[in-house]
Amino acid sequence: MGYFVKNRVIYRKFQAKSEQNKFRMNTLSRVVITGVGLTAPNGNNLTEFRQNLLNGISGVSTIETHYMGNMIAGVCNFDPLKYQKKKDVRRGTRAGSIATYCANEAILDSSVDFPNQDKSRIGVYIGITEHGNVETEHEIYNISQHNYDVKFWTHHHNPRTVANNPAGEVTLNLEITGPHYCIGAACAAGNIGIIQGLQMLQLGEIDLAIAGGVSESCQTFGIFAAFKSQGALAEHSDPKKASRPFDKNRNGIVVSEGGCLFTLERLEDAQKRGAKIYGEIVGYAINSDATDFVLPNPERQGECINLALKKAGIKAEDIDIVNTHATSTPQGDIQECEMIRKIFGNCKTTFINNTKSFIGHCMGAAGSLELAGNLPSFSDNLVHPTINIDELDESCRINNLVMHKPHQAESVNYILNNSFGMVGINSVLIVKKFLSQ
| 330-344 helix and 298-312 helix, angle to the nearest 10 degrees | 40
Where is 109: in which H helix or E strand?
A: helix 94-110
Residue 252's CB: how many other CB atoms inside 10 A?
23
Could you tell me if 308 and 326 are in contact, meaning their C-beta atoms sit under 8 angstroms apart?
A: no
Of 131, 180, 236, 325, which residue is the catalytic one? 325
Of 187, 304, 337, 347, which residue is the catalytic one? 187
Where is 142: in which H helix or E strand?
A: helix 133-144
Catalytic site includes residue 260:
no
Q: Count Cβ atoms within 10 A of the Cβ of residue 388 and give its class: 0-12 exposed, 13-18 middle, 19 or more buried.
A: buried
Of 361, 362, 384, 407, which residue is the catalytic one? 361
Dist CA 345 CA 295 (whole Å): 23
The full length of the chain comes to 437
Dist CA 130 CA 133 (whole Å): 7
Strand partners, 71: 63
End-to-end CA distance of the chain: 53
Dist CA 228 CA 405 (whole Å): 31
Catalytic site includes residue 361:
yes
Residue of 180, 21, 31, 173 lying closest to 98 (CA atoms): 173
Could you tell me if 381 and 52 are in contact, meaning their C-beta atoms sit under 8 angstroms apart?
A: no
Catalytic site includes residue 347:
no
Residue 343's CB: how many other CB atoms inside 10 A?
18
DSSP letter (8 states) at residue 253: B
The beta strand positions in 236-337, using DSSP E, are 255-256, 258-266, 279-288, 321-323
Greatest CA span in the chain, whole angstroms?
A: 77
- Give me the active site residues, please: 187, 325, 361
